[in-house]
Amino acid sequence: MDISYDIILFFVGILVGFINTLAGGGSSVLYPVLIFMGMPIHTAIGTSRVGFVAQGIFSVAGFKSKGIFIFPFNLYVALSAMLGGIAGAWISLQIPGKNLTKILAFVMLIIAVLILIQSKIKKPSETSRTKGKWLLISLMVYFIIGIYGGFIQAGMGFMIILAGTLVNRFNLTEANSIKALIVLIITLPTLYMFAVKGHVNWVAGFFIAGGTAIGSWLTSRWSVQVNENHIRKIIASIIILLAIKLWFYQ
């Protein structure tokens, strides 16, 4: 692939970083863009995970530097999710590309809805639940989320935040810290699995990773007044349009 292709992916990565930081669901834009640029869906999923590793490392380090590190609970659920992720990646690699593309298009529509309702998620008043039966329940819940994450990953962050707030009673910052570690721990072995099958374009992945890191950093420091609800609606609309086009894409 020529350098112009990689430069485009770098700027797409910036957009994905912006979306992930502001609303979430950036991979729902990245996957179809890679597919429309000629990448098979399995390669699009595998290549995207290069960026997820970079994003995960910086996110985990950032939360830890601020003292937001729910240890050892975060490690327990991350390892449980990783086992699910390995199973999910294996399933994904068995599905023909055309069928997987249809599944992705359907998932994107669900993600668009989640983006619109995400701001309504509130932390209940109860104390966080991380021990005893709640630890066992959490291990099962995050294992199931891990299966989905290994399978297609798009929108996994929403599921982790929902589990963190509804099951564990975490506030949004705590749930996001759990999300960062789980995404990183799941992505490492699943990236390897896709790479072994030849479904990773490393050069493209590094350009995407660089753009995502810059986009996330700039957006997190964006100081201008902005109506997040309007932006969420715009992002959801874009994802819906991409999903419709992807459904009919040959």
Mean pLDDT of all residues in the chain?
84
pLDDT (tens digit per residue) in 112-144: 888 777 666 655 556 788 898 999 999 999 999
Q: What is the pLDDT of residue 110?
A: 87
pLDDT (tens digit per residue) in 201-245: 999 999 998 988 888 777 655 544 456 677 778 778 888 888 888
Q: What is the pLDDT of residue 227?
A: 60
**111 contacts 237 by C-beta, under 8 angstroms:** no
Range of the structural domain that residue 15 is part of: 3-247
Domain count, the chain: 1
Read off the DSSP letter of residue 125. Answer: S
pLDDT (tens digit per residue) in 22-47: 666 778 888 898 998 889 999 999 99
pTM here is 0.85
* Alpha-carbon distance values, 62 to 15, 33, 67 (Å): 21, 29, 9
